[in-house]
Amino acid sequence: MADWKQLYDAIVEGEADVAKSVVEDALSQGVQPKDLLDNYMVPAMDEVGQRFERNEYFVPELLISARAMKRALEILKPMLAQTGAEPIGKVAIGTVKGDLHDIGKNLVAAMLEGGGFDVFDLGVDVGPERFIEAVQAHGVSIVALSALLTTTMPSMEKTIHALRDAGLRDRVKVMVGGAPVTQKFADQIGADGYSENAGKAVAVARLFVHA
Ligand code: B12
């Protein structure tokens, strides 16, 4: 089998056009989207994060790598979301207030769609009131919160409190995730579920609807 390390390199180096064409090439040769994601794309973003920590990369490099990741992800998204069945539940997902990271959130949203959920993606920097609106407007039963910054993790707890104050807490299950989030933190803030990655997020959401 061909080695798709070029995809890893393209994301680390921020070469969006190369990333796009390698993904297209790989798919045309029958490589599974999940293989590309798990073995090349997500590890590439990890490497980018490590370079940032070592002061080898700065915000501009993060941005161009993120753009390459997004370009590659855009091609995979419809494939991850392929499903013909009736939606098994409605999810509102967003990156919490103050936080602009959306690659992981987009991945979770795409996997949930692929897993048969109807997904309302509220975007980034989403305050509690917007989650509440989505629950009320769309009859959402799962709220999924993403945070990548330790400084925005408290927004998750605020959102849970706001749902409670709006009288909606019993109507929804809250799932949290993002690199700094742990099961322990999820328990502390009273979330109903946590997962460390997009694949397991679907399993957690399925448990909610079958509970
Ligand atoms: C790309 C990136 C950026 C890009 C974001 C572009 C974008 N559109 O998303 C840009 C350049 C904008 C950026 C900005 C900043 N960043 Co930044 N960024 C990253 C980086 C390198 C990668 C994040 C990423 O996309 N990972 C890949 C995805 C696939 O992984 P993921 O997000 O973790 O998601 C997976 C899981 O966590 C989980 N998951 C995610 N969400 C959810 C939700 C639910 C419900 C569930 C169940 C699961 C789940 O599933 C996902 C898929 O498996 C990380 C380093 C890292 N390794 O995390 C730093 C990092 C998160 N950034 C950091 C920092 C400091 C910043 C800035 C403050 C920098 C600055 N000085 O300006 C700003 C903050 C801007 C803001 N207000 O949000 C720090 C955070 C440190 C901390 N402890 O808080 C990190 C950790 C880098 C570092 N090592 O220091 N960043």
pLDDT, position 87:
74
d(CA 36, CA 137): 36
pLDDT category, 22, cuts 50, 70, 90? very high
Dihedral sign from CA coordinates of 104, 105, 106, 107: positive
Q: Nearest C-alpha to atom 9 of ligand 1 is from which residue? A: 101
What is the CATH code of the structural domain delimited by 5-80? 1.10.1240.10
Q: Is the pLDDT of residue 2 over 70?
A: no
Pocket test for ligand 1, best of 54, 62, 142 (most atoms within 8 A of CB): 62
pLDDT category, 3, cuts 50, 70, 90? confident
For ligand 1, residues with CB inside 6 Å are 42, 45-46, 48-49, 52-53, 59, 62-63, 66, 98-105, 107-108, 144-146, 148-151, 175-180, 195, 197-198, 201
**Buried-exposed string 124-145: b where 16+ CB fall within 10 A, e elsewhere:** bbbbbebbbebbeeeebbbbbb
Q: Is the pLDDT of residue 66 over 90?
A: no
Pocket test for ligand 1, best of 77, 96, 101 (most atoms within 8 A of CB): 101
Q: What is the largest CA-CA distance in the chain?
A: 55
> 98: which DSSP letter?
T
What average pLDDT score do residues 152-167 get? 98
In percent, the amount of the chain with pLDDT more than 90 equals 68
Residues of the chain with CATH 3.40.50.280: 90-210
Q: What is the pLDDT of residues 126-141, one digit of tens each?
A: 999 999 999 999 999 9
Contact present, 138 and 120 (Cβ < 8 Å): yes
What is the CATH code of the structural domain delimited by 90-210? 3.40.50.280
